Amino acid sequence: MRTSHKGFAEGLLFALNIFIVVLLCAGDSLAIPQWLQPVGRLHPLILHFPIVILLLAMVMEFFRFRPEFANEKLYQRFTTYLLVLGALLSSLTVIMGLFLSREPGYEGGILQWHKWFGVSVAFVGYGIYLWRNTSVYTAIIAKTGAIVIVICLIFAGHFGADLTHGEDFILAPILQKENRKVPIEQALVYRDVIAPIFETKCQSCHNADKMKGGLMLTTANAILKGGKTGKLFIAGQPGISLLLQRVHLPEDEKKHMPPVGKPQLTDQDKMLLYLWIKNNPDFKKKVIELPATDSLRMLAATRLKPAESTEEVYDFSAADDKDIKKLNNNYRVIYALASASPALAVNIYNKSTYSVKVLDELEPIKKQIVILDLNKMPVKDGDLKTISRFENLRQLNLNFSDINGSGLKDLASLKHLKTLSLAGTKLNPNLIGQIIAIKSLTELAIWDTGLKPGEIQQLQAAHKKIRLLSGYKDDGKPLKLTNPQLKNTSQIFQQSFQLQLSNPIKGVDMRYTTDGSVPDSIKSAAYKPGILFTQNTVLRARAFKAGWLGSDTVQFNFYKNTYTPDSISFLAPADGKYTADGAKTIIDKELGGTNFGNMKWLGSQKDMVMLMLFKKPIALHSLTLNTIRNIGSQIFLPAEIEVWGGADEHHLKLLTSLKTATPQKKDPVAAINLECKIKTTGNISCIKLAIKPLQKVPDWHPAKGKPAWVFTDELFLN
């Protein structure tokens, strides 16, 4: 650095320090012209330079008088340059800072501290620079000066950071704010509901130190006072509230609050502010002083809720993981309620492996069990003694177990038991008093235990604190029974069949008829297992039971089939779309149901011809073909069925043929048996069956003129 440069720097340093003094003296009366404001705003940028440079300069100044450095020219000169640069930059920074502090929004204690520490840095730095080459400047003074500057730098920096980032910015992550757990009875509307909104979303800019827009939202008085633009609200008139206007402005609007990029108010926050202002803002009112149906109270209650419903804290320590692991098996499942919770839940499964030993073995974790589920286990009253050792038990499920209540007295020692389920047990009503005496109990399930509704009502009246679960009561309207179900594997029989009906509802009376009439509960025959039928039967059945409506009538058709051919083949096959299982479909003893497209029906628009061979000659009297009629789907009855018979396929003669009546438009959809009677012709070993569809669909049908379809699913030979 040339002397002229040094002189210039010194002159500038002097001028800047004088300027600082002027600015400080002018104080509040100083007005910063608008064009200078950007200079002020550069303060947070420039300040980093003097911090680093001055810090380094002070370290060097600290050791300046050490013998090894005292005569080191480079060291001395470098220290000087650093110091002059640092002093210059710090003075500049202070001036900028003073400009910035004149802008609205910066006020309060922290700003003052920051200002004076910053100014001290500049002045002390300049002082050292002026003084450091005089004879009175000793090593001790050098060291003291260096330390003072460093301290001032640290404090100025710290308070400055508080201004820009908010207080406790650095330590916030580790300073765990205590969760305020205010029970709703004690909560104040302002302190516990409204103020937290301001605190989290507004106060970083509207506090005593940084009053943006002249607004402070930390105290009741300041809130009532409002800001530069005016009062925040007029009590009871949310519609004209400045506060609500600002938070409801679109986010891209400049005046929208909080500014873009800062945490925004939620809809619920806005609603709470609205309701608070509407209710005439009060800073002392308790939440529960509001009417129970008040929207503000209801919203506030949900806000305060999390504090209320915190997880239960258990006062016992966790069990040894090894014990838990050892005791856990396929039929005794032990698991922690939550990841850091010491509490355990135990579920016992499988009746056949249960014994009291299953419970006795839980000794090592007896303190930690809070939930025990023994639903449907054969628990005896004596076993309850073991259970009474689980001192922290909250919930015990003994539904459908084998207890009768004599052991329940043992449970009286469980001081924490809240829920007890005894449904479906053979509970002795006289013993119920013993359990109901457990003070902590809040819920007791006793339905299906033989206790009469009256007794339960009395109990409930005497123990209002306990919720008694007394079970479902139907509304007395009778329900319709389920239909009888057929259990016979096939509806086709050779000689005779035993009717097998069933109904899933216990104790029903099933009645049937075979004459096509609707069964009733008095005159019709009652179903018993083992009834034999030997003929084709149309069976209609219904179920009845006292207290229920009778079921629908169901119909089952049984078909006798004496002879089954040993082989069957097509001479003229079925249509490719409806081949089902080939020709043997019609002798497979399985009916095709109601849907012709389910691949259990043979269908064709041409003649279907089948050849059946019998190893043992038969005496055929009748041939019955099960067919379907569905005029809408162009399915008609066969126009003609021809039955040929003989000793073998080369010696066949026409045994009989059947022609059906001309179809009518109104013929309903139905499965129809077509029986061809055959006059005795002696024994035959071969049958040829030809099924001929209607050649032309009648004129009244949309498909008039085209050949009709025929469908068949089964053949009965008798």
Partner 1 sequence: MEKDFLESRLNINRRRFLSRLSLGIGSVALGSLLIPDLFSGAGAESEADFIPGIPNFAPKAKRVIYLFQDGAPSQLESFDYKPKLREMMGQELPASVRGNQILTGMTAKQASFPLVGSFYDFKQYGESGAYVSDLFPHIGKIADDICIIRSMNTDAINHDPALTFFQTGAQQGNRPSMGSWVSYGLGSENKNLPAFTVLLSKGKGNGQGVYSKLWSNGFLDSIHQGVQFSSGENPILYLNDPDGLNRHERRKMLDNLAALNDINYKAFGDPEINAKVQQYEMAYRMQTAVPEIMDVSKESDDIVKMYGPDCLIPGTYAANCLLARKLSENGVRFVQLYHQGWDQHSNLPQEMAGQAKDVDQASAALVTDLKQRGLLDETLVIWGGEFGRTNYSQGKLEKANYGRDHHPRCFSIWMAGGGIKPGLVYGESDEFGYNIVKDPVHVHDFHATILNQLGIDHKKLTFKSLGRRYRLTDVAGNVIKGIIA
By CB under 8 A, the residues from 385 to 414 that bind partner 1 are 397, 399
182-190, 239-247, 358-366, 479-487 -> range binding partner 1 (CB under 8 A): 479-487
Q: How far is residue 709 CA from its own chain's centroid?
A: 55
Nearer to partner 1, 109 or 529 (CB): 529
Binding to partner 1 (CB under 8 A): which residues in 80-139?
Answer: none
Of 109-117, 233-241, 441-449, 529-537, which segment contacts partner 1 by CB under 8 A? Answer: 441-449
Q: Does the footprint of partner 1 cover residue 333 (CB under 8 A)?
A: yes
Which residue lies nearer to partner 1 by CB, 347 or 569?
A: 347
Stretch that binds partner 1, among 74-82, 344-352, 669-677, 684-692 (CB under 8 A): 344-352
Tokens 């040929």 locate to 644
Return d(Cα 533, Cα 560) in angstroms, integer.
Answer: 10
Q: Which stretch binds partner 1 (CB under 8 A): 28-36, 204-212, 466-474, 661-669?
A: 466-474
CA distances from 680 to 561, 645, 677 (A): 17, 11, 9
Number of residues that bind partner 1 (CB under 8 A): 39
Helix (H) or strand (E) holding 646: strand 640-646
Q: Does 312 bind partner 1 (CB under 8 A)?
A: yes
Which of 312/581 has CB closer to partner 1? 312
List 347, 557, 562, 622, residue binding partner 1 (CB under 8 A): 347
Residue 471 binds partner 1 (CB under 8 A): yes
CB of 445 to partner 1, least distance (A): 5
Contact segment (CB under 8 A) with partner 1 among 185-193, 327-335, 558-566, 634-642 equals: 327-335
Give dist(CA 542, CA 483) in Å, integer. 7
Which range binds partner 1 by CB under 8 A, 106-114, 151-159, 467-475, 568-576? 467-475
- Interface segment toward partner 1; rule CB under 8 A; list 1-9, 503-511, 595-603, 669-677: 503-511
* Nearest-approach distance from CB 366 to partner 1, in angstroms: 21
- Taking the complex as a whole, the smallest distance from the CB of residue 473 to partner 1 amounts, in Å, to 8
Task: Report the distance separating Cα 567 and Cα 688, nearest Å.
Answer: 12
**DSSP code for 302:** H
349 binds partner 1 (CB under 8 A): yes
Segments of 306-440 assigned E as strands: 332-336, 344-348, 369-373, 395-397, 419-421
331 in contact with partner 1 (CB under 8 A) = yes
Cα gap 432→428, rounded to integer Å: 7
Question: Which of 482, 521, 557, 630 contacts partner 1 by CB under 8 A?
Answer: 482
- Residue from the set 32, 337, 531, 652 that interacts with partner 1 by CB under 8 A: 337
424: left (phi over 0), alpha (psi -120 to 50) or beta: left
Q: What is the maximum span of the chain, computed from C-alpha positions, in angstroms?
A: 153
Nearest distance from residue 662's CB to partner 1, in Å?
35
Question: In the complex, what is the shortest distance from the CB of residue 500 to partner 1, in angstroms, rounded to a whole number?
Answer: 16
Q: Which is nearer to partner 1, 54 or 396 (CB)?
A: 396
Return all residues near 662 (Cβ < 8 A) that are at least 6 apart: 698
Asked if 359 is part of the footprint of partner 1 (rule: CB under 8 A), the reply reads no
| Least gap, CB of 310 to partner 1 (angstroms) | 10
419 contributes a contact to partner 1 by CB under 8 A: yes
Residue 240 interacting with partner 1 (CB under 8 A): no
Q: Taking a C-beta distance cutoff of 8 angstroms, is the pair 649, 611 a contact?
A: yes
The answer to whether residue 339 forms part of the interface with partner 1 (CB under 8 A) is yes
Say if residue 573 is preceded by a cis peptide, omega within 30 of 0.
no
Closest by CA to 624, choosing from 575, 687, 669, is 687
3-state SS, 81-116, equals: HHHHHHHHHHHHHHHHHHHHHCCCCCCCHHHHHHHH
The DSSP line for 271-290 is HHHHHHHHT---SS-BGGGS
Of 657, 568, 658, 566, residue with least CA distance to 618: 566
Q: HSE-up of 229 (CA within 13 Å, CB side)? A: 11
Is residue 338 part of the contact set for partner 1 (CB under 8 A)? yes
Closest-CA residue to 395 (of 414, 367, 412): 414
Regarding 25 and contact with partner 1 (CB under 8 A), the answer is no
- The residue among 351 and 653 lying less far from partner 1, judged by its C-beta, is 351
Query: Looking at 291, 504, 530, 702, which residue binds partner 1 (CB under 8 A)?
Result: 504
Residues 444-463 binding partner 1 (CB under 8 A) are 445, 447-448
225 belongs to the binding site for partner 1 (CB under 8 A): no
- Nearest residue to 646 (alpha-carbon basis) of 602, 670, 693, 614: 614
Q: Does position 8 bind partner 1 by CB under 8 A?
A: no
* Nearest partner of 92 among 12, 205, 193, judged by Cα: 12
Task: Kindly state whether residue 506 participates in binding partner 1, applying the rule CB under 8 A.
Answer: yes
| Least Å from the CB of residue 209 to partner 1 | 28
The residue among 338 and 461 lying less far from partner 1, judged by its C-beta, is 338
Distance, in Å, from the CA atom of 47 to the CA atom of 117, rounded to the nearest integer, reads 13
CA 508 to chain centre: 43
Cβ-based nearer residue to partner 1, 61 or 192: 192
CA neighbor of 638 nearest in space, from 651, 649, 624, 650: 624
Q: Map the footprint of partner 1 across residues 687-716, applying CB under 8 A.
A: none
Strands (E), 504-639: 509-513, 525-526, 532-533, 537-544, 554-560, 567-572, 602-604, 608-618, 622-629
Q: Which stretch binds partner 1 (CB under 8 A): 290-298, 342-350, 584-592, 686-694?
A: 342-350
- Which residues have CB under 8 Å from 444's CB, separation 6+? 419, 420, 421, 422, 435, 436, 466, 467, 468, 469
Binding site for partner 1 (CB under 8 A): 302, 311-312, 330-331, 333, 335-339, 341, 347, 349-350, 352, 375, 397, 399, 419, 421, 423, 443, 445, 447-448, 469-472, 474, 479-482, 504-506, 548
